[in-house]
Amino acid sequence: MTRHRGRGMASINYPIGMNLGGDPSQALVHSNPSGKFTVALSSIDLGQGMKSVTRQICAETLGVPVEDVYVDTADSDTGPHCMGSFASRGTHRVGNAVMAAAREARGVMMEAAAEELEVNAADLETDGRGNIHVKGAPHRSISTKDVAIAAQFKQGKTISGRGIFLVPLSDVDPETGEMSPATCYAHACLVAEVEVDDETGEVAMVRMDSAYELGRALNPRLVEQQLVGGAWMGVSHALYETPEPYYPEPIHGPRDFVEYLMPGPGDICPHDIAVLERPAPDGPFGAKGPGEMCANPVLPAVANAIFNAVGVRIDDLPITPEKVLRAIKSQGGARPQARR
Amino acid sequence: MSKIPLQFRHNGRDVAIFVDGGTNLLVALRELIGDMTPKFGCGQGGCGTCSVLVDGELHLSCLTLAETVAGRSVETLDGLKQGPNLHPLQRAFADHFAAQCGYCTPGMLMAAKALLDRNPSPSRDEVVEAISGNICRCTGYEPIVNAILAAAGGRISA
């Protein structure tokens, strides 16, 4: 029995969102009489942090503290329309919609403040701490709370804004049929190192090193969280998970968490991540989105690493010990490839 | 089916309820006591999100007959924080981004508490072993392991 080390690499281009129907999302932003803002979305945060990121985007655009913004994703029956939380589209699509809505709401807020301060709205700026003041004259100031109260009870205005993001329809080249299905691409490269046991066919992860280019990281800790967790899911798809039965009868297939294999805390490996930020021209504050592509490069990198370790090319997922063993057997033994 | 009277300590407070024979502890906690912090994941001991402590020992509440905790002390995630103050483990989980969707978090925290209560300075392998019965889909486990190690070391900063 020998354990063979192997290293494999994969790089990907990942389109953010999709093109179908323009892939739109809407957002509505309004202030309460307390001067706090609510962002209404139908988009759902599955735990990736979309509520946090859209909150940051709204606060930054409005020029108010992040604590003054509440993101409500409660109800897709009553909220503005969203295509959904998939295709790594949340930060980019929903973020752009929130930005547009917040920009419109900011316009009304500044007009209402201008009326109270008896100045031109163009001469006003926000301090990001909940105040609006005349440029160059911070003492001529009003709080966003007082502006909200004045708008509500005196001026009869709603401080609100509407936003939508819609991908422009791509023209199709009549000669070639070529079109641009996406406006924004993220990129990644990942090197996986594995150890393959040529007696049991088991593949153990040794380490991963990756670089992700995902536009501006609006919340670096959330980006890191996505990348760490997503890579684990990539390993899981590469080596463990399948709804298919391993043995002939469907009844032998996985029926629950006990039988549906996933790597546990003992199967993880060190993962060194570099995040490269090249702001996207059409992203909110330059953001693209980590989303699904955290998992994508792991699968081909692991398959390549297994080839490097024992010389078998397995193109059917997940790469189970059985597949590894059968492949090694059919080529007459492990054939470690050159390591670079 | 006749109801069975059942008394036990729930997060330091005496409770008395009537359960049907065969009721599991998870159902008793969630539906009869109203403590929703232990989660229903698989209902057959495969995921760990229903984990609670019974007399300080880690148990899967979905596989524990409610009657068996009579006169014993049951701790759930709901009893972890003291007033407005988060438990050091909860603080560490927040600081280390150890939760995403959050569904496994109650079980992870109770498994971690069971570990630290008997072994205040565990090794990384011991932490991994302690949460090996708990499934997490989002985090890749590493942030959870790091959070538990940080809580153990008293290093509760980001």
For A232, how many CA atoms within 13 A lie in the half-sphere containing its CB? Answer: 24
> Can A3-15+184-330 and A20-165 be said to share one CATH topology?
yes
Residue A259 has pLDDT above 50, yes or no: yes
| Backbone phi, psi, residue A306, to 5° | -65, -40
Residue B41 and residue A257: Cβ atoms within 8 Å?
yes
How sure is the predictor about A22, in pLDDT bands with cuts at 50, 70 and 90? confident
- How does DSSP classify residue A171? P
Instruction: Tell me if B38 sits within 8 A of B29, measured CB to CB.
Output: yes
Token pair, residue A340, equals 């670079």
Provide the 10 A C-beta neighbour count for residue A13: 12
Closest CB to A266 among B42, B128, B140: B128
* Residue-level pLDDT at B155: 52
Rounded average pLDDT over B105-134: 96
Q: State pTM to two decimals.
A: 0.91
Please, what is the average pLDDT of chain B?
Answer: 94
Q: What is the pLDDT of residues A281-293, one digit of tens each?
A: 999 999 999 889 9
Task: Using a CB–CB cutoff of 8 Å, tell me whether B140 touches chain A.
Answer: yes
Average pLDDT over residues B148-154: 91
Encoding tokens for residue B78?
A: 């709901």
Question: What residues pair up with A141 in beta bridges, in sequence order?
Answer: A133
Average pLDDT over residues A151-178: 93
Reduced to 3 states, what is the DSSP secondary structure of residue B62?
helix
CB contact under 8 A, A225 and B100: yes
Indicate the average pLDDT of chain A. Answer: 94
| Token duo for residue A331 | 């080529």
Instruction: Tell me what pLDDT residue B1 has.
Output: 64
The sheet carrying A124-126 orders its strands as A124-126, A131-134, A137-143
**Where exactly are the structural domains of chain B?**
3-76, 88-153
A271–B129 C-beta distance less than 8 A: no
In a 10 Å sphere around its CB, with 0-12 CB exposed, 13-18 middle and 19+ buried, how is residue A101 labelled? buried
CATH fold, domain A3-15+184-330, is Aldehyde Oxidoreductase; domain 4 (3.30.365)
Helix (H, G, I), strand (E, B) or coil at A28: strand
CB A150, CB A249: distance < 8 Å: no
Closest CA to A20 of A170, A231, A196: A170
Pairwise CA distance, residues A203 & A309, whole Å? 10
Residue A206 near residue A269, CB atoms below 8 Å = yes
**Over 60: is that where the pLDDT of A260 sits?**
yes
Q: Measure in Å the smallest separation between the Cα of A247 and chain B Cα atoms.
A: 22
Is A201's pLDDT higher than 70?
yes
Task: Provide, as residue numbers in chain A, all residues whose Cβ is less than 8 Å from the Cβ of B99.
Answer: 47
**Of 3.10.20.30, 3.40.50.1100, 3.50.50.60, 3.30.360.10, which CATH number belongs to B3-76?**
3.10.20.30
Q: What is the mean pLDDT of residues A203-209?
A: 97
The stretch A188-198 carries a mean pLDDT of 97
Q: Report which of A64, A73, A65 is spatially closest to residue A25, judged by C-alpha positions.
A: A73
Indicate the burial class of A41 (C-beta count within 10 angstroms; 0-12, 13-18, 19 or more): buried
Nearest partner of B79 among B134, B129, B117, B44, judged by Cα: B117
Tell me: pLDDT of A212 over 90: yes
Q: Cβ distance A162 to A104 under 8 Å?
A: yes
pLDDT of residue A250: 74
Question: Shortest Cα distance from B142 to chain A (angstroms)?
Answer: 7
Query: Is the pLDDT reported for residue A312 higher than 70?
Result: yes
Decide if A232 touches B, using CB distance below 8 A. Answer: yes
Q: How far apart are CA B98 and CA A46, in angstroms?
A: 15
Of A335, A326, A330, the closest CA to residue A308 belongs to A335
> How confident is the model at residue B156, as a pLDDT?
45
Mean of pLDDT values over A286-308: 95
Rg (CA), chain B: 16
Q: How far apart are CA A165 and CA A96, in angstroms?
A: 6
Residues from chain B contacting residue A258 (CB–CB below 8 Å)? 42, 44-46
Q: Hey, what are A135's tokens?
A: 């440029």
DSSP string, A130-145: SEEEETTEEEEEEEHH
Query: What pLDDT does A246 receive?
Result: 64
When CB atoms are compared, the residue of A49, A230, A232 closest to B141 is A232
DSSP B122-152: --HHHHHHHTTT---SSS-SHHHHHHHHHHH
ipTM value, please give it. Answer: 0.89
Q: Could you tell me the pLDDT band of residue B49, with boundaries at 50, 70 and 90?
A: very high
Q: Does residue B157 have a pLDDT over 50?
A: no
Non-local (6+) Cβ contacts of A19 within 8 A are A167, A170, A181, A182
Helix axes B142-153, B88-95, angle to 10 degrees: 140
Checking if the pLDDT of A170 tops 90, the result is: no
Taking the CA atoms of residue B141, residue B146, residue B148 and residue B150 in that order, the dihedral angle to the nearest 10 degrees is: -170
CATH topology of domain B88-153: DNA polymerase; domain 1 (1.10.150)
What does the pLDDT look like over A214-258, one tens digit per residue? 999 999 999 999 999 999 999 999 999 987 776 677 777 888 888
B131 to chain A, closest Cα gap in Å: 7
B111 touches chain A (CB under 8 A): no
AA letter at B32: L
Each domain of chain A, given as residue ranges in start order, spans: 3-15+184-330, 20-165
Peptide bond before A318: cis, by omega within 30 degrees of 0? Answer: yes
Question: What is the per-residue pLDDT across A52-111, written as a single tens digit (0 to 9) for each?
Answer: 999 999 999 999 999 999 999 978 899 999 998 888 999 999 999 999 999 999 999 999
Q: Compare CB distances from A266 to B44, B132, B143 and report the shortest one's residue.
A: B132
Percentage with pLDDT > 90 across chain A: 82
What pLDDT is attached to residue B82?
A: 85
* 3-class state of residue A164 by DSSP: strand
Quick check: B94 and B113 in contact, CB under 8 A? no
Tell me, which fold does domain A20-165 have in CATH? Aldehyde Oxidoreductase; domain 4 (3.30.365)
